[in-house]
Amino acid sequence: QKEVEQNSGPLSVPEGAIASLNCTYSDRVSQSFFWYRQYSGKSPELIMSIYSNGDKEDGRFTAQLNKASQYVSLLIRDSQPSDSATYLCAVGVPALNNDMRFGAGTRLTVKP
Amino acid sequence: GAGVSQSPSNKVTEKGKDVELRCDPISGHTALYWYRQSLGQGLEFLIYFQGNSAPDKSGLPSDRFSAERTGGSVSTLTIQRTQQEDSAVYLCASSPPGRANSPLHFGNGTRLTVT
């Protein structure tokens, strides 16, 4: 089982819709969770971090964490074509000396 | 302040040659990570440093790969006897001390092409 799993997509949504991205992780004691956005040919950039169960909102982005079910999600409201990118889920792995592992990423396309 | 700096930005080498990739993290960042990303793929973990020590080397794909970090700052990833399958973008990231698993700050990567 991979440490961090995401649906590779591609996920396509119309402009203005809500995009929902999901991620599951295997290490039950993980405490730190992140979403990164990566445009084609660019390096990943941090969008959201979340450490506690529940929702965390930042502008059009909402991260949701459920440690009991070992999943973390990212919602993008009012999706824009500029949101088209690959979204990477990252999880801190205490069993690996607090290393950081990434999912394979979900490619999102927002169609005008 | 400056971000994570990687050099060279592009490297073309012949199969069988050795290459060195350099990462200069953000000043004061104690954790440093190397990842590899092949075209259209996710991030493949290579190695993680905390200070000068590497608690997790499990991602290095073979003994041709090695990395070191000196003075708690600059890190060098060395690939010996390069193979075509080593072609990828090599990303370095750093994070500050304090909270475990602070967010990572990525460099722009080194694009390695082995011909």
Average pLDDT over residues A3-12: 88
For the stretch B91-113, pLDDT in tens is: 999 988 766 668 899 999 999 99
Question: Using CB atoms and an 8 Å cut-off, which of residues 4-33 of chain B contact chain A?
Answer: 33
Cβ of B91 within 8 Å of Cβ of A99? The answer is no
* B12, two tokens: 């073309």
Q: Give Cβ neighbours of residue A41 (< 8 Å, ≥ 6 apart).
A: none
Question: A97 to chain B nearest CA, in Å?
Answer: 7
For the stretch A26-62, pLDDT in tens is: 988 888 999 999 999 899 999 999 999 999 999 999 9
Contacts for B10-13 with beta carbons within 8 Å, 24 or more apart?
B10/B110, B10/B111, B10/B113, B11/B110, B11/B111, B11/B112, B11/B113, B12/B113, B12/B115, B13/B82, B13/B112, B13/B113, B13/B114, B13/B115
The residue that leads in pLDDT, B75 or A1, is: B75
Nearest chain A residue to B57 by CA distance is: A96
Question: A80 to chain B nearest CA, in Å?
Answer: 22
| pLDDT bucket at B58, cuts 50 / 70 / 90 | confident
Whole-number Å distance between alpha carbons of B96 and A77? 31
- Whether the bond between B97 and the residue before it is cis, its omega within 30 degrees of 0, is no
Cβ of A88 within 8 Å of Cβ of B33? The answer is no
| Interface probe, candidates A21, A100, A107, chain B, greatest B C-beta count within 10 A | A100
Instruction: Tell me if A48 sits within 8 A of A56, measured CB to CB.
Output: yes
For the stretch A53-92, pLDDT in tens is: 999 999 999 999 999 999 999 999 999 999 999 999 999 8
| pLDDT bucket at A110, cuts 50 / 70 / 90 | very high
Residue A63 bridge partners (DSSP): A56, A74
Instruction: Tell me if B90 sits within 8 A of B35, measured CB to CB.
Output: yes
